[in-house]
């Protein structure tokens, strides 16, 4: 029997890497997608193999349709897709909306929104019973920013994550009777490299005292929530969006 695969986009670092390491517990082989950092992806693969799991790294930029097709073709070579974590995402440097270039906005939505749509499309084609698949699960990684709006920082990012929340609800209903559950999570401030990539390497240290739990979350705390949503323990949960934010932005 072909092995089942979980694909984690942006699985080389941060929340995605933590999700890859946890995904072994579901018994799937793990497809570790990355865009630039091959060494980091290879390190995640090696850790999974050291734990007795199966994994492989796949380079590909989720904003490119050709790359997404190649990522899923590589998964097909290894087995049968059973789950997708739409995790790859970017922020940009702090800016007001009246300072944002068209290039910045296009890139933000191309990676965070179009990338998640393209990957979901390919996953549904493989997992939906409508297409002869065996069902599966999708988890979309949104952000507490979708509720906060991120004024004077990155409204574009927050709006892209709002789109992810809406995609989660709509896609969940679209495939609810096709064997696929679709859920989302909204992390709060999580201690990963993403803050430095947005020009704010000390963001976590600066904000921690103002967070409800007086600390940031860890990537593994988010990964555990992702795994629950992917697992059979969540068999009647679809279209749900779980705040994993230590109490940040839990109100609508």
Which residues form the interface with ligand NAP (CB under 6 A)? 9-10, 12-16, 33-37, 40, 61-63, 87-90, 111, 141, 143, 187, 189-190, 192-194, 197
Task: Calculate the CA 190 to chain-centre distance.
Answer: 13
Return the number of the residue (6 or 90) whose C-beta is nearest ligand NAP.
90
Q: State the nearest-atom distance from the C-beta of 38 to ligand NAP, in Å.
A: 7
SS3 call for 85 = strand
181 versus 248: smaller Cβ distance to ligand NAP:
248
Distance in Å, CB of 129 to ligand NAP, minimum: 28
Coil, strand or helix at 91: coil
CB of 33 to ligand NAP, least distance (A): 6
Judged by beta carbon, residue 128 or residue 161, the one nearer ligand NAP is 161
Cα 29 from Cα 43, distance rounded (Å): 15
Three-state DSSP at 92 gives: coil
Q: With respect to ligand NAP, which residue has the nearer C-beta, 82 or 139?
A: 139
Instruction: Give the residue carrying structure tokens 């507490």.
Output: 144
Cβ-Cβ contacts under 8 Å for 84 (sequence gap 6 or more): 6, 7, 9, 119, 120, 123, 136, 137, 138, 139
Hey, how many other C-beta atoms are within 10 angstroms of the C-beta on 10? 28
Which residue among the candidates 93, 154, 157, 236 is catalytic per the annotation? 157
157 in active site: yes
Residue located via tokens 């993403």: 194
In sequence order, which residues have a C-beta less than 8 Å from that of residue 91 and are 6 or more positions away? 154, 157, 194, 195, 197, 198
Minimum gap (Å) between residue 227 Cβ and ligand NAP: 15
207/31 Cα distance (integer angstroms): 33
- Our CB check for ligand NAP shows the closer of 45 and 189 to be 189
Active-site residue set: 157
């Amino acid at each position: 029997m072909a092995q089942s695969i979980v694909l984690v986009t942006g699985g080389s670092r941060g929340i995605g890497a933590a999700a890859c390491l946890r995904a072994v517990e579901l018994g799937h082989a793990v497809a570790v997608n990355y865009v630039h950092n091959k060494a980091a992806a290879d390190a995640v693969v090696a850790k999974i193999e050291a734990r007795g799991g199966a994994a492989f790294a796949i380079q590909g930029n989720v904003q490119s349709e050709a790359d997404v097709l190649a990522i899923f073709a590589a998964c097909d070579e290894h087995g049968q897709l059973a789950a997708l974590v739409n995790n790859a995402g970017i922020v940009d440097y702090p800016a007001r909306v009246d300072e944002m270039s068209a290039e910045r906005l296009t890139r933000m939505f191309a990676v965070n929104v179009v990338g998640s749509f393209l990957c979901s499309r390919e996953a549904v084609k493989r997992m939906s019973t409508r297409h002869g698949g065996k069902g599966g699960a999708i988890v979309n990684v949104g952000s507490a920013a979708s509720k906060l709006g991120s004024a004077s920082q990155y409204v574009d990012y927050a709006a892209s994550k709002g789109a992810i929340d809406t995609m989660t609800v709509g896609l969940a209903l679209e495939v609810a009777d096709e064997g696929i559950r679709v859920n989302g999570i909204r992390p709060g401030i999580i201690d990963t490299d993403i803050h430095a990539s947005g020009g704010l390497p000390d963001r976590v240290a600066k904000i921690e005292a103002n967070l409800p739990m007086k600390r940031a979350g860890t990537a593994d705390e988010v990964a555990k929530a992702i795994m629950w949503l992917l697992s059979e323990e969540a068999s009647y949960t679809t279209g749900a969006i779980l705040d994993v934010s230590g109490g940040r932005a839990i109100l609508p």
